[in-house]
Amino acid sequence: MKLVTGIIQPHRLDDVKSALEAAGVRGMTVSEASGYGRQKGHTEVYRGAEYTVDLVPKVRIEVLVDDEDSSTVTEAIVKAAQTGRIGDGKVWTVTVDDVARVRTGEHGAGAL
């Protein structure tokens, strides 16, 4: 099993969700995140005082999948989240040892 994690622009979330649903993904975890990559931050001015805001808002999306689906899911996220500008984010995949479904207690691929 794999865990695919994507850090994306917040405004791409709806498209990414739709793309994942179309790819057959039945569940995901979405959380608000903040960070920066090559785009760095921006400046804000309040009553003449300038602040550098280096962490910018992002959305983290996490999907647990079978091994053979991970590249499809990764490509779906990349394709849907891409705008071509700096700050589009990253997607990575890691191997997962075990998954348990809380409701039933079942383990492994059946719990996905």
Partner 1 sequence: MPFELDTGNTAWLLTSAALVLLMTPALAFFYGGMVRGKSVLNMMMMSFGAIAVVGIIWVLWGYSMTFGSDVAGIFGNPTEFFGLAPLTDDANSLLAGSGVPALVAAGFQATFAIITVALISGAIADRARFGAWLVFAGVWVTLVYFPLAHMVWGGGILGAGENGIAAAIYGVTDGIANVAPIDFAGGTVVHINAGVAGLVLALIIGKRKGFGKEPMRPHNLPFVMLGAALLWFGWFGFNAGSAGAANEVAGLAWVNTTVATCAAMAAWLLTERLRDGHATSLGAASGIVAGLVAITPAAAAVNPIGAIALGAVAGVLCALAVGLKYRFGYDDSLDVVGVHLVGGLVGTVLIGLLGTDTGLFYGGGIDQLVIQVVIALAAVIFSGVLTFVIGFVIKVTMGWRVSEDAEVGGIDLAEHGETAYETIAQGRVIQEVRA
- Can you give the binding site for partner 1, defined by CB under 8 A? 44-51, 53
Q: Cβ(13)–Cβ(19) under 8 Å?
A: no
Least Cβ distance, residue 60 to partner 1 (angstroms):
15
Q: Which amino acid is at 90?
A: K
Least distance (Å) from partner 1 to the CB of residue 58? Answer: 18
Q: Is the CB of 48 or the CB of 84 nearer to partner 1?
A: 48
Nearer to partner 1, 54 or 67 (CB): 54
Which residue, 44 or 67, has its beta carbon nearer to partner 1? 44
Distance CA 81, CA 5 (A): 13
The minimum distance between CB 5 and partner 1, in angstroms, equals 20
* Minimum CB–partner distance for residue 82 and partner 1 (Å): 29
- Cβ closer to partner 1: 49 or 104? 49
